[in-house]
Copies of this chain bind each other. A is one copy, B any other.
Amino acid sequence: MRITNQREIILEELRRLKTHPTADELYEVVKKRLPRISIATVYRNLERLSEAGIIHKLEYGGRQKRFDGDVRPHSHVFCVRCGRISDVDTVEGLSVRAMVLDPKGFEIIEGSLQFEGICPECQKGNSLTTN
């Protein structure tokens, strides 16, 4: 994978943000450093980087995909009002995979815990401002 300026900066900004941004949120941030970058480049790089396992693609909520520069195993909470995603700390050492009794013929790759909830902002009634 060729190291381009765009690719480097996209990765750098994604790793810096702890907000699990959507492609267009990241595009807005990256544009400050590379004003002529295209949203297509952002999408293509996010795809490429997640295929390579360098970042993670988060596909909760059925709406916009979100991306995470932190690939260490950890759980997320998804806000059902605004779609925001946050990391959650959970009890350590749990082997989620070991909890499967019958995989119904599937070859299990991985298991994770996920949570749904209402984020601090939306609890304050700010959901519309960030939706």
Contact = CB atoms under 8 A, between A and B. Distances in A.
A63 B59 CA distance: 8
Nearest to A92: B101
Contacts of A116: 108-111
Oligomeric state, in number of copies?
Answer: 2
Interface string A96-108: 1101111111111
A86 B106 contact: yes
A113 B96 contact: yes
B106 A99 contact: no
B99 A119 contact: no
Given A62-B57, A62-B65, A108-B77, A117 B103 contact: yes
Contacts of A88: 100-104, 106
A102 B88 CA distance: 6
A123 interface: yes
A116 B106 CA distance: 9
Interface of A: 57, 59-63, 65, 77, 79-80, 86-91, 94, 96-97, 99-120, 123
